[in-house]
Amino acid sequence: MISDKLKQVIQKELNLKEFDLKAETIASQVPGWDSLNHINIILAIEKEYGIKFKGLEILKAKNIGDLQKLIDSKIPA
């Protein structure tokens, strides 16, 4: 399950009003999510959550669910 916060960050960066983002959604299924916007989305997530990703971590994320797990692993419990 992905958080509303993550959905909002992605939708804001891509100027999407209504798009049903799910854990299994991959970038190529999301309108406007290209290589340039990928960078913008990652930077926006880092800023919003106050975290930093390593390049290899991002490459391992295959879908939005993986991205949410990565974010969760960076946030102190």
Domain residue limits at 53: 4-74
CATH of the domain at 29: 1.10.1200.10
The tally of domains found in the chain comes to 1
* DSSP per-residue string spanning 46-63: HHHHT----HHHHHH--S
pLDDT at 17: 87
Please name which of 72, 38, 75 lies closest in space to residue 58, comparing C-alpha atoms.
38
Global pTM reads 0.92
Residues of the chain with pLDDT under 70: 77
pLDDT at 69: 97
**Backbone region of residue 2 per phi and psi (left: phi > 0; alpha: psi in -120 to 50; beta: other values):** beta
Q: Are 9 and 48 in contact (CB under 8 A)?
A: yes
